Structures are given as C-alpha cells and as structure tokens.
Amino acid sequence: MPTKKTGKYSINIRYVLFSIVTFILFLLLTEGGVRTYYWIKNKVEVRARNFTDYLGWETAADVSKKHVVKGYGEVIYSTQKYGFRRFGNTKTDKTKLFVIGDSFTLAHSVSDGDTYYDYLKKHNHNIEVFVYGGGGYGSLQEFMILDRHLDEISPDIVLWQFCSNDFINNSHELESASLVNNNQMTRPYYKNGTIEWLFPKQYGGWLDKMVQSSYLLRLLNVRINILAAEKMGSIERELSPDHPLFRESANTTSDIMGLVRERIGDMPMVAFSVDASKWMGSTLQDICEENSIDFIPGIPEAIAQAKKSGIVVDGFPYDAHWNSAGHAIAGEIILQHLKDKGYLHKRDRSIPKTNHEASVLLNKYRPASDYIIPFGKLTLLSLTPRNSNGFGPIEGPYPKWHMPRKVRWMLAPEASVKMGAEVESDTNYYLHIRVLSQAVPQRLEVLLNGVTILEKTIDSFNTWHSLEAGPVKLRARENILKFRASALKRYPNSTRDLYVLFDALSFEKE
C-alpha cells in the first residue's frame, strides 16, 4: 500500500483519500436528509412563511393552527388574506388603522384576540385594523408591504412598530457582523437610492456561498453564531449613537421612512418602539421627527416596570417577545395616545397618485404578480387596484336585496383586468360572468386583448344574467380583459356612478 514518509511519520495516501471521500459522502447524505426532513415537514405542517424573490420572505396567508409555545403555553394563531394577521373591512365607516411591524407585530406566540392591535379594537369600537407583521423584517421590507397594500386599504392612520434590530436588518454590513440578529436569508437592502438583494456575509468568498446554498451548513452556522454570541458577544455590544456603521444605518432608515412618508402623503403616521437599547440613543425619535411621524414614548419603560413588579410580560428565558400581558400594556398606551391626539376619526384624504420617488423605486423591482392575476385565480376577490381598473371595492353579500354572494360594482364606463398564465396554445377557454344593471337599457361589451368576445343588451332592471363568452384563446403571458358599459345609475346623496354589478367572474378550460 503506497505511503509517503515524512520524518519519523508515514502517511497512508489511500487511507487519507478514503477518509476524505467518506466524510464528503456523509455531508452529502446529511444535507439530503435535512432537506428531506424540511420537505416532509412543510407538507405535513402549516408553513408560517414563504420565500419570495421580491420580499425575501413573507408571512403565509390563511394559516390557522393551535400549538404549544414554550414560555407561552397554548396559542391559537391565524393569518388572513395576503398574510395579514388582521385584515378588516375596507368599506367600513370606522377609522382604518394600517399596522406594520416585525415579529412583535406578527406575534406568533400570542393567540388571536390578545395582541396590542386587538386591544385597540376591543377597547374602541370605532377602529378597524389591518395588520401585517413580518418575522425578521427590516424597514425596507415593511415599506414594500405598505406600498403593495396601501391603495386597497386606503387607511386613515398608519401605525409603525420599530425595534432596535431594525438598524441591524437595514444594514448589510451590520447584519453580516451580527451574531444575534442575522437572519441567514437573502433580503432587500436600500443602498444609495436603489435596492440590492443580498445574503449576509460572515466568512467571505466561497464559504458564504456554501452556507447560503446548504440547509445543513446554515443550521450549523446559526448554532455556531448563538454559541459565539454567548462567549464573545455580538457587534450590538460595540454600538453607540456615534458608531460609524450605526450612523450609516440610521441615515438609511431615515431615507426609508422618508419614502414611506412620501408614499402616504399627509396621512397621519404614528410609530413606537418595542425596546429602548442604549446604543440607539434618541435616534428613532429623531428619525420620526425628520419625517413628520408622531412617536409614542414610554412603551419599553412600561413593559420593564411591569416586569420589575413581578408581572410576566414575555416568554423569558425562552423568548423575549411579549405575551398577552405585554401586548395589553402596549395596547393601552397606544390607544391613549391615539385618543389624546385626536386620531380616531375619519379623514377625507387621498393617497398621492403622482410618479413620486417611492413608486419609481419599487416599480423597478415589483414582481409581475403584483399587476397580473393568474387566469386560474381570476375571481372578484382577486381584483386589486394594481391588477384592475374601474371596479369598486368588494361588497356584500346582501341577501335581502337578492345578492347572496359578494359583489363588485363597475364604477366607470370602462373597466379592465390584467391576467397572465402559462396556457396551452391549443386549449379553448370560456369566460363566465354574472351581472345585473340598475340602469336600463344597458349595453355591455366584453373585449379580450382588444377583440370583442361578448355583447349583451340588458333590458330588465335588477335581474341577474349569467353570461358566457367563448371559446377564446389566451396569450401565454399578459391578457387584458375589458368591460364597456353604456348606462349609469346615480342615487341621491351618492358620489358613485353605478354601471354594472358583478357577482361572478372567472375563466375555465373547455
């Protein structure tokens, strides 16, 4: 057997090669096992989040589960449309509050009805809440969520939840250096007026790429970071208001909040922080003042005082996130502030529609799915201000008016919907709609990609008509579906022009 002699030692080459190959095979098998475990887990268990190219990751929609969380007990957790923890009625006459934050707002360890925003709604019946929390989110991701849903919600107030780790997550350099606030995931960062999607770097070069692409190495790296933080501490211990990396992140955070302010116009915006790390100083308050954001003081101090008095406010020693008691303390302070400042009444405000910097920035990167409905998912519920024009909000059902399903009014003489799909070129499709009109005679024309596929004159007042158009061919990518109506109805004391009412809208294969 070949050997290589080095002084008084001899190395068995074959043995070394065999050991290396065995170790590599072990790593590959372990990697495969870890991936298989998570694949099965995601099939069996309800996923709390999904990965996306645009946001990095997002809270999963329509989740409902009951589970036991260590330090918190049994938790009944659910999300609603778009991954919102709460998505209220957009047509309400109540004060609409759009709440955005990170894992403290997601509140995965707090049951439905026990969060700080639930406290607001319970203790003031004039509030309607729309709440999105993204675990591990930075301010840019939160702004991207606000931009995506602002027009549909059209809120009266924006309530923004800060955390000290926002400064870490808003800086690629700080997140790369952090051992405790490093999410080990690719996220968007705001840098020099543009957006970059980056994975936190810790080692440099090929090793970072391996960690990024390997489930096993990422799990090991997270554990190593936790142990290293316990032994050596993390960069957070070195930070101060004058630290150059912190100052840079503070400037970036202020720029992001400036984009938020530009997007919402003169709409009132209120913010608070869940903690008050000394290294932040008064930076959050200064950022809010720079961007005309009303900052609510005192919440971290009230939580700390309650904890000092013996009230259990979090999941310590397992988790620092608030429990229901902590959320109630925060909710009480927020509600009192909203009352004292006179925010809890409706406002006649319009959201800016100009081509401002905020929209120009995100328009470069926003995924096509924000603008186009997959044809197989086309329903009245799937319409948003981004993928359609000329339709009103979802309403109903109104059984007493013979409207047993949810409906949408066509509020303009022409309305349109953008659809997209991977379709089979030789497949025929049929459009199905159900409509009525309160203005007769009503001539309704339906066009697909500029070609008329249906014409109908409606002569009967307030009577439902089930209509079908087809067979038609769909394009593989973008398709424009248009509706044109000839007559309108306007009721006294109303500003809406009512053309055609829809309670069904879908495409089906032949």
Query: Is 0.85 surpassed by the pTM of this model?
Result: no
CATH number at residue 336: 3.40.50.1110
SS3 state of residue 475: coil
- CA 442/CA 436 separation, integer angstroms: 9
Average pLDDT rounded to a whole number, residues 39-46? 70
Asked which of 62-66, 113-117, 391-395 is least confident by mean pLDDT, the reply is: 391-395
pLDDT at 229 over 80: no
Please check whether residues 39 and 59 belong to one and the same domain: no
- CA 54/CA 370 separation, integer angstroms: 10
pLDDT at 42: 67
- CA 501/CA 395 separation, integer angstroms: 10
Query: Side chain identity at 464, as an amino acid letter?
Result: W
In this structure, how many other beta carbons lie within 10 angstroms of the beta carbon of residue 42? 11
Tokens, residue 463: 């009577």
Average pLDDT rounded to a whole number, residues 220-249? 82
Percent of the chain residues past pLDDT 90, beyond the cut? 57
Asked which of 21-30, 50-59, 74-83, 282-291 is least confident by mean pLDDT, the reply is: 21-30
pLDDT at 493: 80
Which residues, in sequence order, are bridge partners of residue 508? 430
Q: Is residue 257 part of a domain?
A: yes
Query: Is the torsion defined by CA of 391, 394, 395, 397 positive or negative?
Result: positive
pLDDT at 203 over 80: no
- CA 112/CA 229 separation, integer angstroms: 33
Q: Do 182 and 202 form a contact (C-beta atoms < 8 A)?
A: yes
Q: Is residue 185 part of a domain?
A: no
Average pLDDT rounded to a whole number, residues 250-269? 94
Query: Side chain identity at 426, as an amino acid letter?
Result: D
Average pLDDT rounded to a whole number, residues 155-162? 96
Percent of the chain residues past pLDDT 70, beyond the cut? 89
Q: Do 219 and 34 form a contact (C-beta atoms < 8 A)?
A: yes
Q: How many CA atoms lie within 13 A of 379 on its CB side?
A: 8
Please check whether residues 410 and 503 belong to one and the same domain: yes
Average pLDDT rounded to a whole number, residues 474-497? 86
Question: Considering the chain, what is the average pLDDT of its residues?
Answer: 87
Q: Is residue 362 part of a domain?
A: no
pLDDT at 335: 97
Q: Is residue 303 part of a domain?
A: yes
Please check whether residues 319 and 389 belong to one and the same domain: no
CATH number at residue 394: 2.60.120.260
Query: Side chain identity at 224, as an amino acid letter?
Result: I
pLDDT at 3 over 60: no
68, with CB counted inside 10 A (0-12, 13-18, 19+), is exposed
Please check whether residues 32 and 167 belong to one and the same domain: no
Average pLDDT rounded to a whole number, residues 497-509? 90
SS3 state of residue 303: helix
pLDDT at 406 over 70: yes
Domain of 25, in residue numbers: 3-44
Question: What domain count does the chain have?
Answer: 3
Asked which of 100-109, 299-308, 347-356, 401-410 is least confident by mean pLDDT, the reply is: 347-356
Q: How many CA atoms lie within 13 A of 284 on its CB side?
A: 26
Please check whether residues 259 and 314 belong to one and the same domain: yes
pLDDT, tens digit, for every residue of 272-303?
999 999 999 999 999 999 999 999 999 999 99
Distance of alpha carbon 89 from its chain centroid, rounded?
Answer: 18
Q: Do 482 and 414 form a contact (C-beta atoms < 8 A)?
A: yes
Average pLDDT rounded to a whole number, residues 385-405? 85
Please check whether residues 107 and 73 belong to one and the same domain: yes
Q: Is residue 166 part of a domain?
A: yes
pLDDT at 425: 64
pLDDT at 422 over 70: no
Comparing 435 with 346, the larger pLDDT belongs to: 435
pLDDT at 59: 96
In this structure, how many other beta carbons lie within 10 angstroms of the beta carbon of residue 272? 23
Among 133, 126, 128, 134, residue whose Cα is nearest residue 155: 128
Please check whether residues 301 and 246 belong to one and the same domain: yes
Q: Is residue 206 part of a domain?
A: no
Alpha-carbon torsion, ordered 304, 309, 312, 318, to 10 deg: 60
Q: Do 433 and 467 form a contact (C-beta atoms < 8 A)?
A: yes
SS3 state of residue 260: helix
- CA 353/CA 418 separation, integer angstroms: 20
Average pLDDT rounded to a whole number, residues 222-230? 68
Please check whether residues 28 and 58 belong to one and the same domain: no
pLDDT, tens digit, for every residue of 311-331?
999 999 999 999 999 999 999
Radius of gyration of the chain (CA): 27
Alpha-helical runs (H) found in 291-378? 299-308, 324-340, 357-363
pLDDT at 230: 67
Which residues, in sequence order, are bridge partners of residue 51? 57
- CA 403/CA 410 separation, integer angstroms: 16
Please check whether residues 29 and 69 belong to one and the same domain: no
- CA 300/CA 3 separation, integer angstroms: 67
Backbone angle region of 343, left / alpha / beta, with phi > 0 → left and psi within -120 to 50 → alpha: alpha
Q: Is residue 204 part of a domain?
A: no
- CA 390/CA 384 separation, integer angstroms: 10
- CA 315/CA 70 separation, integer angstroms: 7
Please check whether residues 334 and 388 belong to one and the same domain: no
User: 5: pLDDT confidence band, cut at 50, 70 and 90?
Assistant: low
pLDDT at 6 over 60: no
pLDDT at 228: 65
Please check whether residues 411 and 269 belong to one and the same domain: no
Query: Is the torsion defined by CA of 391, 397, 403, 404 positive or negative?
Result: positive
Q: Is residue 394 part of a domain?
A: yes
The conformation of residue 460, written as its DSSP 8-state character, comes to S
Average pLDDT rounded to a whole number, residues 85-89? 95
Please check whether residues 65 and 103 belong to one and the same domain: yes
